[in-house]
Structure 1
Amino acid sequence: MSPAAPRLAGQAGKGLAGHTRISTQALTSVAQAAAADVFGVAPAAVRVSWTDDAGALALAVSSPISAPSLGTVRASPGRLERTGGSIAQRATLAKALILATVEHLTGSRLSRVDIRISGLQATEQGRVQ
C-alpha cells in the first residue's frame, strides 16, 4: 500500500478539490441500458434524449416493449398479468424504475422521465387466428 493510500482512504466521505463530470454519452448509455432492462429489449433499440428542465435533467425515452404475442394472450389471458400488466401499466412503472436506476448509477438528479412506446416485440412466436 502506498503512503498516500491511508490518507486518501480517510477522505473517502469528503469531497476532494476538482470536478467530476459524466459525459452526455455516458449518461445516454446508462439510460439506454436501464430502459432496455425494464422493457426487455436490446439497448440498441432504445432512443434517449436529454433536455434542460429549469436547471434539472429531463430524460425522454423512446423504446419498443417486449410482451407476449396476441395469440398467447388470447389462449391464456392470465399471462398478461404475469408479465407485469398491460403495456400502459408497465410504461408507467418504468418511469420510476428508470429514474431511480439512472440516478443511482450516475449520481445525477433527474426531474422527470417521459416514455414513448415505439413498438412491440413479441416474446413468443405465434399466429393470431
Structure 2
Amino acid sequence: MTTPAPVMPGQALGGHNRISTQALTSLARVAAAQALGVDAQDVRADWTDDDGLLALSLVAPISIPPLQSVVLEPARVQAAGGSVWDRTVRAKATILATVSELSGSRLSRVDIRISGARISTARTSAGGRVR
C-alpha cells in the first residue's frame, strides 16, 4: 500500500464541491442585513438562473435615522450614508462582492426591493443616542 502524496497549498484536487442553496441563502441574507443595517431574519432572499449564473433577489427593510432628527439636523441623512436610493445602489454592489467572494459563486446581478424602514437607534459619533 502506497501513501498518497501530501497536498500542496493551492493544488487542485479531483472531485467537486457544492454549496447548498440553504447555505447560499443564509450568506446572502447576512450580507444584505449588514449592508442595509437590519437583522438577517428580516431579509428574504431568492435565487434564479440567469443564463448559467445566479441572480439574487432580495426583499428587506432598510435602517433610517429617526425622521424628527433629520428635520432638526438635515446633515444626518449624509451621516447615515445618504438617501435610501443611494444606500440601496451601494448595497447591491457590496452584497454581490461579498456573496461572490465568500461562496465562490458567480452572480450576474442583485435585485433589491426595499419593503420598509427600521428606525436606527445607533449611537451618534458624540456618544449619545439618536432620538
Q: Give TM-score scaled by structure 1 length.
A: 0.89
Aligned to 1:47: 44
Q: 2:34 is matched with which residue: 23, 32, 37?
A: 37
Output aligned runs, 1:41-120, within 5 Å: 41-120=38-117
Q: State the Cα deviation string for residues 52-83 of structure 1 (Å, max 9, x = none).
A: 00111000011000010111110110000011
The alignment of Structure 1 onto Structure 2 pairs a total of residues equal to 121
- Hey, which bits of structure 1, 4+ residues long, moved more than 2 A? none
SS state of the match for residue 77, structure 2? Answer: helix
Gaps of 5+ in 1: none
2:35 matches 1:25: no
Unmatched segments (≥5 aa) in structure 2: 122-129
Are 1:123 and 2:120 an aligned pair? yes
Aligned equivalents of 1:35, 1:59: Cα separation in 2: 11
Amino acid at match of 2:88: A
- Identity, % of aligned positions: 52
CA drift at 1:14? 2.2
CA distance in 2, matches of 1:119, 1:71: 18
Greater helix proportion: 1
Amino acid in structure 2 at the alignment position of 1:24: T
